[in-house]
Amino acid sequence: MMLHRFFLRFVCIAPMLGVAIATQSVGLAQAIPVTQANEAAPRPLSVASLSAERANPSMSQVTSVSQLSDVQPTDWAFQALQSLVERYGCIAGFPDGTYRGNRALSRYEFAAGVNACLDRINELIAAGLSDKVSRDDLAVLQRLQEEFAAELATLRGRVDALEARTAELEANQFSTTTKLSGEVIFAIADAFGDGDISDNQTVFQNRVRLDFLTSFRGDDSFFIRLESGNADTFADSGLDQGELTFNFLDTDDDFVINALGYLFPAGDFDIYVAAAAPFWQDFVPVLSPQLDDITGGSGALSSFGESSPIYKIGLATGAGVGFNYTPFEAVTLSGGYFADTSADPTAGEGLFNGAYAALGQLTVTPAERLQFAFTYANAYFTDLGPGGGSIFDFSTGTATTEDPFNGGELAITNTYGIEAAYDISSRFAINAFGLFSDVQQLDGNDDAEIWSYGLGLAFPDLFGEGNLGGFIAGAEPYVGGDDDVALHLEGFYKYQLNDFISLTPGVIFIGAPGGENADDAVIGVFRTTFKF
């Protein structure tokens, strides 16, 4: 006994679970958004995700089975259900009057529809409205119950089990408003080369992150990150470049707050406020969707390999604000301001008088799989050089870019970048970038020109679902006229062992380490990532 092309099992079962789907609009406000951009030091989410689709098709009550244009009446059971729905409004459908299905309804699905009408009539009787229910309808329901008794019993057993499991989850859940997620990285790495690099030893390092995501309204996200690790860089062995994605913080295995911020929509704007450790990648599209994986544990191995170094300018700061604005579907404007010593009230410091970085970007999406971005960054440094700040953080770039004036501490930079990304297919994506930075010494008359460019190839689901192959080639930031081109070649393969564990071996080649005419260096890495 079948009703043809009568689909959407959930709509039929929902009334059994007490789900109010008849007139409610379902949207992004019903879930905590999850981060979609990426970064040099990964973030839990991005404001860009808040700009995504904000509503799904709403449900509305259907008063006649004949309104469901996809349904073909074939037997008495259909006629009986039609009569009940017309009288009592038992079943909900989409506003266009269809269930958007193209197959026959199983006996279990039909039984769920019958059960919905049973529940509706029981509600009327319990409310003292038994006169609204005819004896003929009760007889029809009794016949339907008898014919579908086995299916109804099975469905009710499943619902009882589901309710028990739901009650157990609610009683033991971490929080009703906060989601906890974690990532643990174990990595074995070594650097090979001449000079000081030859004295380097193999290391076994770890990094642990706990992210707390809280939504107060449904379309906002308050995030706190606790981080611990011992993943130091190879800088002490003479290799300043090729920093790995998990080398951002050596806490001696003590937990520290590594991210603290709030993301929320305000009209046509998505607003980003960070009270600790702001990152451009939190809200600015970096156009490296496969290699820059947000967490730093599943994409490229190096900070340079993730995305353009222009997003590494001014990250050693204390607080920041930013926004995204999409005036047209294919155009997004992004902007932000990060302050280095925002909490320091002494002269020459504070939110607006100390070192800072400001960035603006225009992102254009002319086609579904194609994006371009034009980026400008302006930064002011009060302590540039050894022991102080760097133009590009996380050991991205040569030692000369860190201190282009041999001790000139005051400097201002104007950096211009262009980025592009193209998903050629679901199995092959490409991204590219280039940047030029003009650096002016403020406590002297010197200046410097810094260049960088790169190309990334990503192969999602390579040799299996969830896997990722990647290759990056480019030049890390180097000072034109002073440095040799800082060649960077990187290859890796992430094997997704299961939903929670991935294994990523890879190799990074660094030409002319430090920007000098030195022997090349090679970094070997085996990264294991646990997510929960």
CB count, 10 Å around CB of 348? 10
Q: How many CA atoms lie within 13 A of 509 on its CB side?
A: 11
pLDDT class of 442 with cuts at 50, 70, 90: confident
Predicted local distance difference test score (pLDDT) of residue 32 = 31
Higher-confidence position of 439 and 168: 439
| Polymer length of the chain | 532
Q: Which residue has the higher pLDDT, 328 or 65?
A: 328
Q: pLDDT value at position 20?
A: 30
Q: What's residue 198's pLDDT?
A: 74
What's the pLDDT at 197? 78
Tell me the pLDDT of the chain averaged across its residues: 78
Task: Tell me the C-alpha distance between 244 and 523, whole Å.
Answer: 10
pLDDT digits (tens, 9 = 90+) for 343-363: 778 877 778 888 899 999 999
Q: Distance between CA atoms of 306 and 37, rounded to whole angstroms?
A: 11
Name the residue with higher pLDDT: 260 or 172: 260
307 in Cβ contact with 287 (< 8 Å): yes
Q: What is the pLDDT of residues 47-83, one digit of tens each?
A: 444 433 333 333 444 444 444 434 345 656 666 766 7
pTM of this prediction exceeds 0.85: no
- Whether residue 510 contacts residue 302, with contact meaning beta carbons closer than 8 Å, is answered with no
Rounded CA separation 12/477 (Å): 59
Question: 252: which 2 tokens?
Answer: 């001696």
Q: pLDDT tens digits for 407-440?
A: 767 889 999 999 999 999 999 999 999 999 999 9
Higher pLDDT, 312 or 128: 312
Q: Write down the pLDDT at residue 264.
A: 95
pLDDT for position 43: 42
43 or 142: whose pLDDT is higher?
142
- Which range is most confident: 27-31, 38-42, 367-371, 490-494? 490-494
Average pLDDT over residues 319-332: 94
Interatomic CA distance for residues 193 and 215, integer angstroms:
49
